[in-house]
Amino acid sequence: MRSALVLGGTQFFGKRLVQLLLDAGVEVTIGTRGKTADPFGDRIRRLVLDREDAESMETAVEGKSWDVIYDQTCYSPQEALDACYLFSGNTKRYIFTSTMAVYDGGTAQKEEDFSPFTYAYSSGKRREYPGIAGYTEAKRSAEAVLFQKAPFPVVAVRFPLVIGPDDYTNRLRFHVEHVVREQPIGISHPDTRIGFISSEDASRFLFWLGTQSFVGPINAGYTGDISHRELLERIGHIVGKEPLIVEKAEPEHQSPYAFPWSWSLDTAKARSVGFAFGEFDQMLDSLIRTYAKDAV
């Protein structure tokens, strides 16, 4: 991999991915709307584009090519269709950041539990897919478009919930702060289970895939899962406070992880092709302690 285009790359694990690529001597270009600053200075090239505007995409990428394209900003099947057309002949490998939300729910979901190769996809734009159900359909259809239409090799990385000290969503921080401050946390189904991956491992896995020949859907994440109740009890044990779980709460106290079903992944395939994820317990406990200090 000598050159890579990262669609996104200015936040969270996308920024970590860019750094890993630079450290490996890869010539990196990022493609964004140009509204979020990045720390990379003159070490990277930049394209200003709008994923929802195919003309802006075409203007930005015309006459250019990359060994690998990392797509972290595709949120609709229309954007995937545009990518199939715009990057035809322009890349050797396309790595799409997908999600565990493509599965209906349940623990230890395997790649074959959702097949994008036969899925009858929709073809709307991202604003036509509101809420969790809309997000699920948009990502399913985007995967289906890429695997059924793309003229280049495709990998779809299905991530669980991503956490880390650079998580701008602050969803885990919310739970730690609420336990530290003894505030109620609204979770109607506290025994449903969720899977995680760190932003460090997410970026490492994406970088590694750029050096491999694997194609197809692949799950990423730590082995196993944890329930909302177990997560909050763990936070409580570390900070020395009892979590206050309630069935209903005001919006500002409603858990952003409060899914009514379990969502976690089987990552045996990733491990079988040679990738080793980090250790969940150590990372989670360290992150909880960091957030707890900030919440005091």
pLDDT tens digits, residue range 106-134? 999 999 999 999 999 999 999 999 999 99
pLDDT, tens only, 149-160: 999 999 999 999
C-alpha–C-alpha distance, residues 31 and 29, integer Å: 7
Residue 295's pLDDT is what? 83
**What is the band of 182 on the pLDDT scale with cuts at 50, 70, 90?**
very high
pLDDT, tens only, 196-224: 999 999 999 999 999 999 999 999 999 98
Query: Which one has a higher pLDDT value, 46 or 296?
Result: 46
pLDDT at 167 over 90: yes
Provide the 3-class DSSP secondary structure of residue 46: strand
Counting residues of the chain whose pLDDT is more than 70, the rounded percentage is: 100
Confirm if 267 and 221 have CB atoms less than 8 A apart.
yes
The 3-state secondary structure of 210-263 reads: CCCCCCEEEECCCCCCEEHHHHHHHHHHHHCCCCEEECCCCHHHECCCCCCCCE
C-alpha–C-alpha distance, residues 258 and 232, integer Å: 12
DSSP letter for each residue of 135-203: HHHHHHHHHHHHHHH-SS-EEEEEE-EEE-TT-TT-HHHHHHHHHHTT-EEE-S-TT-EE-EEEHHHHH
Other Cβ atoms less than 10 A from the Cβ of 110: the count is: 14
Confirm if 255 and 227 have CB atoms less than 8 A apart.
no
**Phi and psi at residue 124, to the nearest 5°:** -90, 175
- Residues 241-266, mean pLDDT to the nearest whole number: 94
CA–CA distances in Å: residue 219 to residues 77, 133, 206, 247, 265: 20, 20, 11, 31, 7
- Residues 75-103, mean pLDDT to the nearest whole number: 97
pLDDT at 164 over 90: yes
C-alpha–C-alpha distance, residues 202 and 45, integer Å: 23
**Phi and psi at residue 33, to the nearest 5°:** -75, -5
H/E stretch holding 13 reads helix 12-23
**Cβ-based burial of 11 (10 A; exposed 0-12, middle 13-18, buried ≥19):** middle
- Residues 228-240, mean pLDDT to the nearest whole number: 97
pLDDT, tens only, 18-39: 999 999 999 999 999 999 889 9
Residue 9's pLDDT is what? 85
pLDDT at 263 over 80: yes
- Residues 219-233, mean pLDDT to the nearest whole number: 96
Q: pTM (2 decimals)?
A: 0.95
pLDDT at 296 over 80: no
